[in-house]
Amino acid sequence: MAIPSPAPHIAAFEQFGYGLFLHWGLYSQIGQGEWIMSQQRIPHAEYRKLADTFTAEDFDGRAIARTARRAGMRYITLTTRHHDGFSLYDTKGLNDFDAPHSAAGRDLIAEFVAGCRAEDIVPVFYHTTLDWSRPEFTDDFPAYLAYLRDSVEILCTNYGEIGGLWFDGNWSKRDADWEEDALYGMIRSHQPNAMIINNTGLGNCGALGHPELDSITFEQGRPEALNREGMSKYVAVEMCQTMNGHWGIGAADFRYQSPKEVIENLAACRRVGANYLLNVGPTASGAIPDYERACLERVGDWVSRYDECLRCARPHPAKAQHASDFVLAHPDGRLFVFVHDLGVQGSADVVVRGGRGGAMALSGIDRPIKRVRWLGNDEDMSFSHDADTGLLVFKATGYPYGVHHVVRVAELS
């Protein structure tokens, strides 16, 4: 069966490869994650007082976009409104539970979009579909859905062209009629080239949804390859993951991903053609915390070495000798081999032994190969290739002492 061709906006989204997720709101002042209102059963009247101290004094849309670009990311998805119902944008009179009516006194989404445009980063808007602050969500669901559509329409009509809308919350009423036709139709009328994504949640990773959706999601779990044969529409794949165990900032959370883990997760996503949307919870005042910024920048050094093959390459069916390794294909005919667990060369008096090296075999290399080299230092490696069987064997040299990329990439050309 045929595989459908991606629409241009979906094809462009797939080439972004790597993006920044930001969960930021009133809850950031408490510093115990984004679900604190629900989990601590804080009454709405008490919770909304947090708006009086929400100054956003350190929020700088361009500085955040610059951090994303330095990290090798191409888009940012920001929580314009999370489940607590507080909006970072001007709700134009729909309610007064928004940033212009807080201590910040301004439209923070306008600043975010301006910052993204200045740094050539694509802005994407997260928007909750559930709302703990609206009685209609429980008492008059059709009225609530009209309010939701009016809210999203503001985002679609006041900030120029955006990269997409990223929804989250339909899992809260699995059997309800969310009137998705009306919501997505409205978005398409204003933003025809925007990605429309609706998170299926932790318990339903990779599920297909409404026909208008442009990507499936994997929350906090590595994505699987999507078989698109016979599908009526080509959809993308995106994995969203936290730097730690929650989405909003946690002042007492010390369990963070290392640069090594981020690199491995990014490689695992690109292995199956998925985007990696990595979350950071900004501080109460709106800044990227120091550790997260440093980690992103360090990973950005790795991305800069392999940017071309991460963006433009597609999964290739060749099989590697080691299950952790994989091959991506560039449209110009080059192949890229992603090699994990490579050892380090050098004196036994200083090098801690471990890792792989030596002959590495690949099957299914279906095109002539004239050269095998490491990207990064342009080092050639000896190889043999049987064009009839597709078997290629190359001698993978280890890292020089003082060098380790976690995942190293060889180019077959």
Both structure tokens of 11: 């094809």
Say whether pLDDT at 352 is over 80: no
Cβ atoms within 10 A of the Cβ of 55, count? 15
Both structure tokens of 197: 């994504």
Strands 319-320, 391-396: pairing is unpaired
- Average of per-residue pLDDT across 350-378: 87
- Average of per-residue pLDDT across 287-298: 98
- pLDDT at site 348: 74
What does the DSSP assignment read for 131-196? -TT-THHHH-HHHHHHHHHHHHHHHHHSSSS-SEEEEE-GGGGTTS---HHHHHHHHHHH-TT-EE
Say whether pLDDT at 131 is over 70: yes
Q: Is 324 helix (H, G, I), strand (E, B) or coil?
A: coil
The yes/no answer on whether domain 315-412 falls in CATH 2.60.40 is yes
- Average of per-residue pLDDT across 83-94: 98
User: pLDDT-based confidence at 376, cuts 50/70/90?
Assistant: confident
C-alpha–C-alpha distance, residues 90 and 27, integer Å? 19
- pLDDT at site 235: 97
What does the DSSP assignment read for 261-313? HHHHHHHHHHHTT-EEEEEE---TTSPPPHHHHHHHHHHHHHHHHHHHHHHH-
DSSP 8-state assignment for residue 367? S
User: pLDDT-based confidence at 349, cuts 50/70/90?
Assistant: low
**Lowest mean pLDDT: which of 14-18, 140-144, 181-185, 395-399?**
395-399
Q: Which option is the CATH number for 8-312: 3.40.50.1240, 3.20.20.80, 3.40.50.2300, 3.90.45.10?
A: 3.20.20.80
Say whether pLDDT at 20 is over 90: yes
Q: What percent of the chain has pLDDT over 90?
A: 88
Phi, psi dihedrals of residue 103, rounded to the nearest 5°? -65, -25
Domain ranges of the chain: 8-312, 315-412
* Residue 89 near residue 110 (C-beta atoms within 8 A): yes
pTM of the model as a whole:
0.96
Phi, psi dihedrals of residue 388, rounded to the nearest 5°? -70, -40
Across the chain, mean pLDDT equals 95
Residue in 259, 277, 279 with CA at minimum distance from that of residue 269: 277
